Structure 1
């Protein structure tokens, strides 16, 4: 079962193979209940091999969340370029499309069910997840920001988006209004310093 893992130059594919196994298990079993032994079996490796790549379930979940969030955001924003006029509306279109895509993706939507709120809160506060989102989203919105400020804005952006996924607005219009009021001013640099995110609930 495990003999092919490190043979023939496959070592660099091991993490992806493990995370693919997590995706399948999350769809079948739900989020937050998948254990390391189950992941090892689904990935076709030993538990010892799994622990070489991920020291515990939290680190495995963080890696999975970071990868899937990064891929979803990159995919959505390829279809929602920000070039041209009405940049604010284009940005709102992209953010609402991101929320819609997360809700329609089975292995992501399950994480935002009420029973998993605590797990999602811990994952969203992970530096690894924030770094991934900063790399593919915040940095392109505000290339002027130093790294520390981009991380603060990334943390705030994640919290706003997750709050809408776990507690959806009554309508898309209301969702756009919330994004316009509480996230757009920071992403578009409309006279607000990123330090103001702290006053709004970031840190």
Structure 2
């Protein structure tokens, strides 16, 4: 491997470079088959360097999921208004746009193929970054909730979205109806009460 991989100010970029390698590999090989040696080779670093940044494949996948979730939410929600008379429709549009963005992004869609359901289940339970992103989002929608209630509601919202990605309904209209009837009431300010923790 290259001896100067971290030289010349690359220390800050090393983690990103490794995660970029994961993105490429999951498209080429599938999420469940990417190993640490392949990631190190694709990133142009030694395995020892890779393990300095990520203790194991689970930690690597959690970091990748967190980075990609942050980028996804920024892409979909950055310029999307959440206030106004049609707030419920705006939220529904955003949720369906999030599902569509995952499905059309190759390095994200691959994670929701049937062979990778177990990996996604483990990631959804272990990514503090994703939990925090969604809890902040929910707190923005429902400022009256306690931090613990926003966190619980965010975790449930993630599970709903993941279930639709892994087991999609036959049509976009059916998914939208499900989101409208069973998730939107909890996310909207005028929605159902979320019990305090």
Q: TM-score, normalised by structure 2?
A: 0.92
Aligned to 1:85: 85
Q: Which residue number corresponds to residue 131 of structure 2?
A: 130
Q: Over residues 148-194 of structure 1, what are the superposed CA-to-partner deviations in whole Å (9 max), with x where a residue is unaligned?
A: 22211111010000111111112122111111122111111334232
Tell me the equivalent position of 1:14: 14
Shift of 1:112: 0.7
1:79 shift after superposition: 4.0
Give the whole-Å Cα distance in 2 for the aligned partners of 1:132 and 1:80: 16
Find out whether 1:97 has 2:97 as its counterpart.
yes
Inter-partner Cα distance in structure 2 for 1:150 and 1:180: 19
Partner of 1:47: 47
The corresponding residue for 1:174 is 174
Instruction: Render the CA deviation track for 1:24-65: whole Å, top value 9, x for unaligned.
Output: 000100111100010001001111111111111001111111
The aligned runs of 1:189-200 (5 Å cut-off) are 189-195=189-195
**Distance of 1:3 and 1:146 partners within structure 2:** 50
Counterparts in 2 of 1:143 and 1:8: CA distance versus 1, 3 Å: farther
Structure 1: stretches of 5+ with no match in the other structure:
199-203
TM-score scaled by length of structure 1:
0.90
Q: Quote the Cα distance in structure 1 between the aligned partners of 2:144 and 2:7.
A: 45
Alpha carbon RMSD of aligned pairs, Å?
A: 1.7
